Chains A and B, each alone.
Chain A
Amino acid sequence: MLFPWPDFLRVTLQCSAQALLIVITVNGLVGAILAFVGAVQLNKFGAGIYVADLVGIAVVREMAAVMTAIVMAGRTGASFAAELATMQSNEEVDALKVMGMQIGSWLVLPRLLALTLVQPLLYVFGCAAGLAGGLAVATGMMNLSRTAYLDRSALVLIPSHFVLGSIKSVCFGLLIGLTGCWQGLQAARTAAGVGEATTRAVVTSIVWVIVLDAVFALCANALGV
C-alpha cells in the first residue's frame, strides 16, 4: 500500500510546530484566568495557596486538553476540511479514485495519524503553559512565593491526571481529524461547498469535543479516577 509520506510530513509540521505558539498562548491565558478567578474567591477565606490546586487540576485534567482541541479544531480541522473539499471540487479526489487509490489510506490516514500523534504533545505544552500562566498570576497578584506554589502543584498533580488528559487529547485528535476529513470529502463541488464544509467541520468538532469531555468526566467520576 502506498503511503503519502511527503503529505504526512507536511501535515505533521502544519499541526505541530506551526500550531505551537497559538496553543501555548491560549493555554497560558486560560491558566492565568483560572488563577485570577480562583484567587479572588479563595483569598476571601485566606486560602490563597489553594489556587495552585485549582489551576493545576483544572488545567491538567480538563482545560489543556479541551482548549488545545478547540484551537486545533479551528485551525487544523478547518484546514483539513477546506483542503479536501477543494480537492473534491477540482476533481483531484476523482483522479485518485480512477487510479484505484484508496482515499482512506491516501488522504485520510496521513491526516488522522499526524493529528493523533501530535495532539498529546501539544497537550503537554498546553499544560506547561497553563501552569505557567497560573504561576504568573499567583506570584504577581497574590504575593505567593514561587516555591510554595510549585510545591503545592507537585503535591496535587498526580500521574492519573496526566494520563486522563493524555487519553482525552488522543481521542480529541482522532475526532477532529475524522470530522475535518469527513466534512471535506462530503462537500459540494462548489466554492460555497468548501466554505460550508469548513464551517461544519469546526462547529461539529467543537461541539463533539465538549460532549466527549463531559462523557470523560462522568466516566472518570464513576471510576474514581
Chain B
Amino acid sequence: METPSPLPLPSACHDLANLDPAIADHAPGGATALAPAVLEVRNLALRFGSHLVQEQVSFQVAARSIFAVIGMSGCGKSTLLRSLIGLLCPSAGQVLFAGVDYWAGTPAQRNQLRKGCGMLFQSAALWSSMTIAENINLPLRQLTALNPQQRQARIAEVLHWVGMDSCADVAPADLSGGMKKRAALARALAAAPPLLLLDEPSAGLDPINARRLDALILDIRDRTGAAVILVSHELPSLLAIANDGIFFDAESKRPIAHGSPRDMLAQSDNPTVHAFMRREILAASADHPAQVAATP
C-alpha cells in the first residue's frame, strides 16, 4: 500500500528481508565527522541519593550517527538514557540538545526539547489499554499538527516500515516480544524526531529477529537522518551498526573508552574493554590485577 508522506519520513515500501545481509559493511556510512552534534553531554554525574552511578561522562552525538552506550550490567547505561530524556535529573553536568542546556531550562522549555527525542524502552512500554495504531497516534496528536487523515496515513506508513501492516488494531498483549519492539520503534519514530534513544532494542530476541532489528535501525538512520543512541549488550549488533560510542566502567564509575565499538575491539588496551568486547572472563587478582582468560 502506497501512502502519501505528510512528514519528512520516507513512504517507500521497505522489505527487511531484502536488505543486504552484510549489515556490518553498511554501518559506518551514516555518520560524518563534520556533522553538528545533535546531543552533547558535558561532565555529567548521575547519583541515586548518595550512591554514585557514573561521573565525568562527556560525549557528543553527531547527526546521522549511531552512538553505542556500552558497559557491563549495572554500570548505569539505562540510567544515563533516563537522564538524557529528562526522567532523571543529573547531580552535575550538562545535557545540551543542539547547544541548548536541557536541565537549565524551564519545564516548558524542557518539554519542548524532549519532543525532539523518540524513545524505545527496554520493555517496549506500549500502552496496554490501546491498540498499536492508537499507540502510534498518541505521539502524533501530541507532537505534530497533522490532521486525522494525515495521522492515519503516517500510522500506516510507519507500521509498513517496520513490517507490521496487519497489526494496527491489535492489542500489545497479543504481540510477541520482537513485534512489541518493532511496534514501539514505529511509535518512537512516528513524529520524526532528530534523536532516537534505544534501550536494549534486541535484548531477548532471537538472532534472526535481532539482526532484522539491526537492519531496521540502520534503515531508519539512513532514511530519516536521525541520530541514534543505542544501549546494548549485544556485541554483534554493536559491532554491526554503531559507529561511535562510549564504554562505562562499573568499578571506577567513569567512562573508560570512547570511539566506535570496532575500534574498541581492535585497539583498546584497557583490560575491561578488551575482555568485554572479546567475551572473555576478566579475572582480577592482587598479583594480576587485569589478567584476562579466554572463555572456553
Contact = CB atoms under 8 A, between A and B. Distances in A.
Interface of A: 2, 6-7, 10, 87, 90-92, 94-101
A91 B121 contact: yes
A99 B129 contact: no
Contacts of A99: 114-115, 138-139, 142-143
23 contacts: A2-B138, A7-B129, A10-B129, A87-B127, A90-B123, A90-B128, A91-B123, A92-B128, A94-B87, A95-B119, A95-B125, A95-B126, A96-B127, A98-B86, A98-B87, A98-B114, A98-B119, A99-B115, A99-B142, A100-B112, A100-B115, A100-B142, A101-B142
B117 interface: yes
B85 interface: yes
Contact of A100 (B111, B122, B125): B111
Chain A binding surface, main DSSP class: helix
Interface residues of B, number: 23
Contact of A98 (B117, B123, B126, B129): B117
Nearest to B119: A98
A97 B125 contact: no
Interface of B: 82, 85-87, 111-112, 114-115, 117, 119, 121-123, 125-129, 138-139, 141-143
Contacts of B127: 87, 92, 95-96
A37 to B, nearest CB: 45
Contacts of B141: 2
Contacts of A7: 129
A100 B119 contact: no
A198 B112 CA distance: 34
A39 B34 CA distance: 90
Which of A6, A10, A99 is the most central at the interface, judged by chain B CB atoms within 10 Å of its CB? A99
Contacts of A91: 121-123, 125
**Shortest Cβ-Cβ A-B pairs, 8 listed:** A91-B125, A95-B125, A91-B121, A100-B111, A98-B119, A99-B139, A98-B85, A91-B123
B228 to A, nearest CB: 16
A156 to B, nearest CB: 46
